[in-house]
Amino acid sequence: MRFLILIATNLAVSLLLGVVFLGLEVAGVLPQGQWGGLFVMATVFGFGGSFISLLLSKIIAKWSMGVRVIDAPASQSEAWLVQTVQQHASRAGIGQPEVGIYDSPDPNAFATGWSRDHALVAVSTGLLHSMRPEQVSAVLGHEVSHVANGDMVTLTLIQGVLNTFVIFFSRVIGTMVDAALSGGRDRERGHGGIGYFITVMIAQMVLGLGASMIVAWFSRYREFRADAGGAALTSPREMAGAL
C-alpha cells in the first residue's frame, strides 16, 4: 500500500512537472538540443518530483485512505495499538510514529513518512478484526521495520534516478520524432513542432509506467527485509502466521 501511494503520487507530480517543463521549452527558457543542460534540468525536475512525493506521502495517505489518527485512544484496542507501535519503535530505534486506523474490510496496513522520526503507521479495521493480537503485533513490527530501514527514502532516491532518465529520454525521443516529421529541417531553437510535444507527453507516460514497474520490483526485496524485521521484533512464528 505504501509503495502504491508513493508511486501514484510520484506519477501525478512528475506529469505535472513534465507539463511545466514543456511550458518552459515552449517559452524558450529551456532550448532543445542542448543535451548537457537538458540532463541537468531533468535531474532537478526528476529528483524534485520524487522528493515532493515523499514530503506529501503522509498527507496523501491520510486523505486517500481516510485514516483517523489516534491522538487520544477511545478504547482499549486503540490504546493497545498505540502502545504496541511505541514498543516496536523504541526497540527499532526510531521516533514515535503517528498511529491511525482506516475503514476497509481487507486486512492491510502501511507505513509512510518522509523520515524515520516523522512516520505514520496505519492499519485497516479488517486487519484488526481478522487477526489475533500477536499477529497484528507482527504486522506492526513489519511496518515499523519499513520506517527503521529507511525504505521510503531509499525508494525516493531510486524513483528520482528513474524520473531523471524518463524526462531526459522522453525528450530525446520527441526530438527524433519531430525531426522525422519535419523532414530533418532545423527548427528555431527552443521551439519544437506539435509532434515533439505530443511525443514527449506520450513517451513520458509510457516510460514512467515502466519506471514504476522497476520500483515495484525493487519493493519486493524491501518487503522481505521488513518481514525479517517484523519477525525480529515479535517472533518468526507470529510473523509467518500474519503472512
Measured distance CA(78)–CA(100) in Å, rounded: 9
* Cα–Cα distance for residue pair 225/231, rounded to 1 Å: 10
13 in Cβ contact with 24 (< 8 Å): no
The tens digit of pLDDT for each residue in 210-240 reads: 888 888 888 888 889 999 999 999 999 999 9
Instruction: Quickly state the pLDDT bin for 190 (edges 50, 70, 90).
Output: very low
What's the pLDDT at 125? 94
Q: Is the pLDDT of residue 50 over 70?
A: yes
Three-state secondary structure of 25-92: HHCCCCCCCCHHHHHHHHHHHHHHHHHHHHHHHHHHHHHHHCCEECCCCCCHHHHHHHHHHHHHHHHH
Alpha carbon dihedral 26, 29, 34, 40, in 10-degree steps, equals -120
193-206 pLDDT, tens digit each: 677 888 888 988 89
Give catalytic status of residue 143 as yes or no: yes
Query: Rounded to the nearest 5 degrees, what angle is found at the Cα of 53, between the Cα atoms of 87 and 81?
Result: 20
| Rounded-to-integer distance, Cα 137 and Cα 121, Å | 12
- Active-site residue, from 25, 143, 188, 223: 143
For position 22, what pLDDT does the model report? 65
* C-alpha pair distances (Å), 112 with each of 5, 142, 243: 9, 12, 20
Query: What's the whole-model pTM score?
Result: 0.75
pLDDT at res. 189: 45
Cα–Cα–Cα angle for 112, 44, 18, rounded to 5 degrees:
85
Per-residue pLDDT, 23? 65
CATH number for the domain formed by residue range(s) 65-149 = 3.30.2010.10
What does the pLDDT look like over 121-168, one tens digit per residue? 999 999 999 999 999 999 999 999 999 998 888 888 888 888 888 888
Domain ranges of the chain: 2-61+152-225, 65-149
Distance CA 36, CA 167 (A): 13
Instruction: Report the sign of the C-alpha dihedral through residues 6, 8, 13, 15, in that order.
Output: positive
- pLDDT, one tens digit per residue, over 96-111 is 999 999 999 999 999 9
Amino acid at site 54: L
pLDDT at 226: 93
No. of H helices and E strands in the chain?
Answer: 8, 4
**Average model confidence (pLDDT) for the chain?**
83
pLDDT tens-digit readout, 69-80: 999 898 999 999
Q: Are 101 and 68 in contact (CB under 8 A)?
A: yes
Compute the distance between CA of residue 161 and CA of residue 163 in angstroms, rounded to an integer: 5
**Rounded mean pLDDT, 57-65:** 88
pLDDT band at 39 (very low <50, low <70, confident <90, very high): confident
**pLDDT confidence band for 192 (50 / 70 / 90):** low
C-alpha cell, 154: 531509499
- Portion of the chain with pLDDT greater than 90, in percent: 38
